Amino acid sequence: MSKNGVLDKSLGFSTRAIHQGHRAADHHGALNPPVYMSSTFAFETAEQGGEIFAGEREGYFYTRISNPTLGLLETRLADLEGAEAAVCASSGMGAICSAIWSLVEPGDEIITDGTLYGCTFSFFRESLQKFGITITHVDLTRPEMLTSAVSEKTKVVYFETPANPNMRIVDIEAVAKIAHTVDATVVVDNTYCTPYLQQPIALGADLVVHSATKYLGGHGDLIAGAVIGHADLIHQVRLVGLKDMTGAVLSAQDANLILRGIKTLELRMERHCDSAEIVAAYLESHPRVTKVYYPGLESYEGHAVAKKQMARFGGMIPFEIEGGLPAAKKLLNSLDLITLAVSLGDAETLIQHPASMTHSTYSAEELAEYHISEDLVRLSVGLEAVEDIIADLENAFNAAYDATTVDFENQRRRA
C-alpha cells in the first residue's frame, strides 16, 4: 500500500475496488472509510473560504459540489473504468441528465440508437426536443450508418451496449471513431456491464454513465448514478450539469453503500455470468421459447462484437415466448422464487415485461419499430443457486402452457 492510499493501476480489479484511495492510518485506523454526513464544511478564515470558492485553494465547502465520501467513491469508479475522473449522482437519470445538459445547447443534435432505457428514451424524445435539441435515431449496430448521419451539428453520440431491454450490441470502437470525425462527444451507458465486464473509455468513449442502482450497488437498496471520463468533461458535468442544472447530488449514506457493494463486484459479476450462461442455454433449448437475446450464445447476432469488447456476457437475459402477451402474463404470474419486479443487477432474480413496464414510455409504433415485442420478457439472473432459478422457470412454463398440450405437440413433432 502506498503512503497516500493511491494504488498502482497494475493491481487487480478487486484489489483496487476494495482499497483504492483509502489509507486506514489517516482515519484513526478505521478499516472502513468514515462517512462524512455533512452538508457544509467550515472555513478557518474568511480569506480561506473565499479562496476555496474561487477555486484557488483545494477544499470542501458544500456537498452538492463535493464531499470526501462521494470523492472516495468517485476515485474508485474512475479507477475501475480506467478513466481520469468521475462524479456521482442521486440516480442513473440524474447522471445522464447532468451529463447531457452540460454538453448541448439549442440547435445541437444528439444521435442515438433507437433502443434505450425507457426514461432515457423519453428524456431525449420529449424533454430535450422541447428545448430545441434534435434527436436522430440511427441503427448503431451498423456503424457504417453513422458515417452518413453525422454532421457538425452532431454534438453527442449516445448508446447502451448491450442495450436495455433487447441486448443490441454496438461496436464501441467503431462508433467512437466515426463520431470523433465531427468532434462529437461519445457517451456510453455501461450499466449492464459495469467496468468489470466492459471498459468503454479504453475503446474510445469520452464519457461513461451508470445507473449505480443496479450492479454497482448490487443489493437493491438504493438509487444512484455516476458519470465517468476525462477530467475536463467531468469538471464541466460537476459544476454545470450537476451543481446548477439538476442538483442531483448523491447522499453520503448511499455512497457508502455503493463503496460496500463494489468490494464484491468482481465476485458478484462472475456469479451472475456463470448462472446466466446456464439459464440462457436452458431457455434456448425450451420448446416454448422462440428467441433468447443473450450475447454469450453463439447463435446471437451480436455475439462477435460482444466477444471483442466484453470480458464475459453479463446477467441479463431477455427472451421471447410463444403465445404473446397472455402467455407472458401467465408465465410471470406463475413464478414463485423469481420476483416480478423492474430494476436489475440485484442478488434476487428479477423478471419483468418491458413493453408494459420499463419501456411503456415507447408508443406502440415505437415498440414495433425498435423490436421490443409483446412476447419479450426480461430476466435479471440473480445470485441464488442456479438450479433453483431453472426449477422455478420450469414450473412456471408448465403452468403457463398446459403441460399436456406441450407433450401432445412434442409427440406430434416427433411423429
Q: Which residues sit at the interface with ligand PLP, rule CB under 6 A?
A: 91-93, 117, 120, 160, 164, 189, 191, 211, 213-214, 223, 225
Q: Whose Cβ is closer to ligand PLP: residue 99's or residue 146's?
A: 99
3-class SS shares of the chain: helix, strand, coil, % to 5: 45, 15, 45
Catalytic site residue from 16, 36, 79, 117? 117
Residue pointed to by grid coordinates 480489479: 13
Query: Which of these is catalytic: 76, 155, 168, 214?
Result: 214
What gap in Å lies between CA 327 and CA 375, rounded to an integer? 8
Of 239, 120, 134, 129, the C-alpha closest to 184 is 134
Smallest distance, Å, CB 183 to ligand PLP? Answer: 25
Position 92, amino acid: G
Q: How far is the CB of 175 from ligand PLP (least distance, A)?
A: 17
Q: Which is nearer to ligand PLP, 20 or 380 (CB)?
A: 380
- Which of residues 93 and 258 has its CB atom nearest to ligand PLP in the complex? 93
CA-angle at 93, arms to 89 and 95, nearest 5°: 35
Nearer to ligand PLP, 20 or 191 (CB): 191
Alpha-carbon distance of 72 to 391, in angstroms, equals 42
- Name the DSSP letter for residue 7: P
Closest to ligand PLP by CB, 120 vs 349, is 120
Q: How far apart are CA 359 and CA 373, in angstroms?
A: 10
Query: In terms of Cα–Cα distance, which of 146, 151, 158 is closest to 115?
Result: 158
Quote the least distance from Cβ 93 to ligand PLP, whole Å. Answer: 4
Is 214 catalytic? The answer is yes
Start-to-end CA span in the chain (Å): 68
CB atoms within 10 A of CB 402: 10
Give yes or no for a contact between 246 and 103, defined as CB atoms under 8 angstroms apart: no
Out of 189, 346, 375, 392, pick the active-site residue: 189
Nearest approach in angstroms of CB 158 to ligand PLP is 11
158 is known as an active-site residue: no
Going by C-alpha positions, the residue among 223, 171, 175, 209 that lies closest to residue 342 is 223
Query: Minimal distance in Å, beta carbon 163 to ligand PLP?
Result: 8
The letter for the amino acid at 315 is G
User: Active site residue: 23, 60, 62, 64, which one?
Assistant: 64
Specify the residue, 233 or 350, whose C-beta has the smaller distance to ligand PLP. 350
How far, CA to CA in Å, does 323 sit from each of 164, 260, 330, 372, 374?
Answer: 23, 43, 10, 15, 10
- 177 catalytic? Reply is no
3-state secondary structure of 227: strand
- Residue 75 vs 194, nearer CB to ligand PLP: 194
Q: Which residue is nearest to ligand PLP (CB)?
A: 92
CB 155 within 8 A of CB 104: yes
Q: How many CA atoms lie within 13 A of 126 on its CB side?
A: 9
CB of 165 to ligand PLP, least distance (A): 9
CB of 222 to ligand PLP, least distance (A): 9
Q: 109 φ, ψ to 5°?
A: -120, 140
Active site residue 117: yes
- Residues noted as catalytic: 64, 117, 189, 214
